[in-house]
Amino acid sequence: MGAAPDIRYSDGIASGRLSAEEVAENFGDIHPPLDQHEALVAADRCYFCYDAPCVTACPTEIDIPMFIRQIATGNTLGAAQTIFDQNILGGMCARVCPTETLCEQACVREEAEGKPVLIGQLQRFATDQAMREERQFYSRAEASGKSVGIIGAGPAGLACAHRLAMHGHDVVIYEAKPKPGGLNEYGIAAYKTIDDFAQHEVDYVTAIGGIDIRYDTALGKDVSLDDLRAKHDAVFIGIGLGGVNALSVEGNDLDGVEDAVDFIARLRQADNKSDIAVGRDIVVIGGGMTAVDCAVQAKLLGAENVTIAYRRGQEHMNASQYEQELAATTGVRVRHNLQPKALLGQNDAVTAIELEYTQVADGKLSGTGQTITLEADQVFRAIGQSFEADLSDAGIDMTAGRIATIGAHGQTSAEGIWAGGDCVAGGDDLTVTAVAQGRDAAENIHAALSGVEV
């Protein structure tokens, strides 16, 4: 990655901190794909375990030893089919899954040697070849005469749609944004999915046919659940989390203070990333993947000082160890046990942030009264997202601000309505989990529409 120049920038938020060439280099593929030889060497390290722990650790339960053996024997397209059988968005998950805390952490090689099999990169190797060759492994069953309305074209909605289309059902996806993909399109660091991969994957998934996506169509504004229940035989809700938790401190409305998800989305959609304006001194509030994605990308755009401030200790950060190390090696400073106390400004623009040191006593987090002030011409909120839609009239039970589901297949308390992904209670806000929930809900919907006891 290109290094930021050793200068002090003028105050204010500005574009062009680095040249277009430097920014392009910084935002190159963070994990360049394996070539054929590298893939064979990596596959050869797999023990092909019986009852492999890596499979159990995968939310979509991909047969990992099987697809790695297929790669090792030269059957890369067969490996891709093994992956897609369980996870039709396996290409994206290979890029963005925290494999270091899922399948690779469970790998026997990791336990024995501290160096797991490169499961994620091998998964990308196989799925990329299938997508590059436009090799489709599935076709639609005979038309069932049934239709399903899906709200949200994110990972859960797309996985649900593909599986329903396989069973011969007609699917209409209602998407609030002008492009499909949800989190994959708008919410992931640009260096993790280059070359418009999210859109390419949507094209691959919908090539099965029978899936109609209607854009700029928001639940509660353009369509209602009653409308969709009247039009379709079943409805699946996969709208994710559209709201952002508030930062309830003085100065929250100053210019230069914004949500990290908006900054990430702006970067994702930019034709020229060097046009994205950033400050000189940036503070990101939060400790999850969004905070790291925001902070790292700000640094890659040329911000001079970028700090992540997290209210608890390092061991409580939701960002994986790999993500934390990525932030550190990129030049982001991560400070723990600090919570925002006030945002300070001049002329309606933020100039600094006052942070209070925290401590945990009797299991409860509290402020110590001691504070520190950091210069900041830009502050990003990355303190979690919230469910926005009002479902009170639909008879859908909620738990902890998200949709409550019954059992393991996404059924809600409202007849004929299923849900999955980040919008449901108890989720872990991962693309791979959303895919699993969308897939499983589709099988349950299919059983219900087929008159099978569910």
**Could you tell me if residue 138 is inside a domain?**
no
Q: How many whole angstroms separate alpha carbon 292 and alpha carbon 286?
A: 8
Q: Which of 358, 381, 404 is the last residue of a domain?
A: 381
pLDDT score at 143: 96
Of 169-173, 184-188, 404-408, the range with the lowest mean pLDDT is 404-408
**What's the whole-number mean pLDDT along residues 82-95?**
98
Is the per-residue pLDDT at 118 higher than 70? Answer: yes
Cα angle 392, 393, 398 (rounded to 5 degrees) comes to 30
How many structural domains compose the chain?
3
Locate all alpha helices (DSSP H) within 347-453, ordered by sequence: 431-449
pLDDT score at 7: 37
Does 126 share its domain with 193?
no
Helix, strand and coil percent figures for the chain, each rounded to 5: 35, 20, 45
Does 267 share its domain with 321?
yes
Question: Residue 51 half-sphere exposure, CB side, CA atoms within 13 Å?
Answer: 0
**What's the whole-number mean pLDDT along residues 220-238?**
96
pTM value is 0.94
402: nearest Cα among 432, 434, 444, 440: 434
Cα angle 360, 365, 368 (rounded to 5 degrees) comes to 75
Does 269 share its domain with 221?
no
**What's the whole-number mean pLDDT along residues 33-43?**
98
**Could you tell me if residue 140 is inside a domain?**
no
Which CATH number covers residue 54? 1.10.1060.10
Tracing tokens 């009170």 back to the chain, one arrives at 392
**Could you tell me if residue 256 is inside a domain?**
yes
Report CA 161 to chain centroid distance, whole Å: 19
Tokens of 106: 């469970």
Does 393 share its domain with 369?
no
Cα distances (Å, whole numbers) of residue 428 to 74, 99, 289: 35, 14, 12
Is the per-residue pLDDT at 152 higher than 70? Answer: yes
Q: Which of 381, 402, 432 is the last residue of a domain?
A: 381
Q: How many whole angstroms separate alpha carbon 283 and alpha carbon 375?
A: 8
pLDDT score at 1: 43
**What's the whole-number mean pLDDT along residues 279-294?**
97
Which CATH number covers residue 189? 3.50.50.60
Q: How many whole angstroms separate alpha carbon 61 and alpha carbon 242?
A: 28
Does 212 share its domain with 94?
no
Is the per-residue pLDDT at 5 higher than 60? Answer: no
Is the per-residue pLDDT at 78 higher than 70? Answer: yes
193: nearest Cα among 422, 30, 25: 30
Q: What percent of the chain has pLDDT over 70?
A: 97
Q: How many CB atoms lie within 10 A of CB 443?
A: 17
Q: What is the DSSP letter of 451?
A: T
Does 122 share its domain with 155?
no
Question: Could you tell me the pLDDT band of residue 3, with boundaries at 50, 70 and 90?
Answer: very low
Question: Could you tell me the pLDDT band of residue 454, with boundaries at 50, 70 and 90?
Answer: low
3-state secondary structure of 110: helix
3-state secondary structure of 198: helix
Q: How many whole angstroms separate alpha carbon 264 and alpha carbon 261?
A: 5
Does 250 share its domain with 375?
yes
pLDDT score at 242: 87
Q: How many whole angstroms separate alpha carbon 108 and alpha carbon 48?
A: 10
Residue of higher predicted confidence among 369 and 244 = 369
| pLDDT tens-place string over residues 249-266 | 999 999 999 999 999 999
Burial class of residue 265 (count of CB atoms within 10 Å of its CB; 0-12, 13-18, 19+): middle
Q: Which of 71, 99, 132 is the last residue of a domain?
A: 132
Q: How many whole angstroms separate alpha carbon 269 and alpha carbon 241?
A: 19
Tracing tokens 């599935």 back to the chain, one arrives at 138
**Could you tell me if residue 36 is inside a domain?**
no
Q: Which helix (H) or strand (E) holds 300?
A: helix 289-300
Is the per-residue pLDDT at 427 higher than 80? Answer: no
Does 49 share its domain with 66?
yes
**Could you tell me if residue 209 is inside a domain?**
yes
One-letter amino acid at 30 equals: I
Is the per-residue pLDDT at 130 higher than 50? Answer: yes
**Could you tell me if residue 9 is inside a domain?**
no
Q: Domain containing 229: what range?
A: 147-239+387-449
**What's the whole-number mean pLDDT along residues 268-295?**
96
**What's the whole-number mean pLDDT along residues 315-324?**
93
pLDDT score at 426: 83
> What ranges make up the beta strands (E) of 54-146?
none
433: nearest Cα among 119, 61, 95: 61
Question: Residue 8 half-sphere exposure, CB side, CA atoms within 13 Å?
Answer: 1
403: nearest Cα among 230, 219, 262: 219
Q: What is the DSSP letter of 288?
A: S
**Could you tell me if residue 154 is inside a domain?**
yes
Does 159 share its domain with 215?
yes
Q: Are strands 398-399 and 402-403 parallel, antiparallel or unpaired?
A: antiparallel
Burial class of residue 399 (count of CB atoms within 10 Å of its CB; 0-12, 13-18, 19+): exposed
Is the per-residue pLDDT at 392 higher than 90? Answer: no
List the beta bridge partners of residue 92. Answer: none
Does 255 share its domain with 127?
no
Q: How many CB atoms lie within 10 A of CB 222?
A: 12
Does 110 share its domain with 184?
no
Does 120 share its domain with 216?
no
Are 87 and 435 within 8 A, CB to CB? yes
**Could you tell me if residue 360 is inside a domain?**
yes
Locate all alpha helices (DSSP H) within 53-187, ordered by sequence: 53-57, 64-72, 76-86, 90-96, 103-106, 108-113, 119-132, 155-166, 183-186
List the beta bridge partners of residue 150. Answer: 173, 236
Q: What is the arrangement of strands in the sheet containing 281-285, beginning at the earlier edge strand? A: 257-259, 378-381, 281-285, 305-309, 333-335
| pLDDT tens-place string over residues 340-389 | 999 999 999 999 999 999 999 888 999 999 999 999 999 999 999 999 88
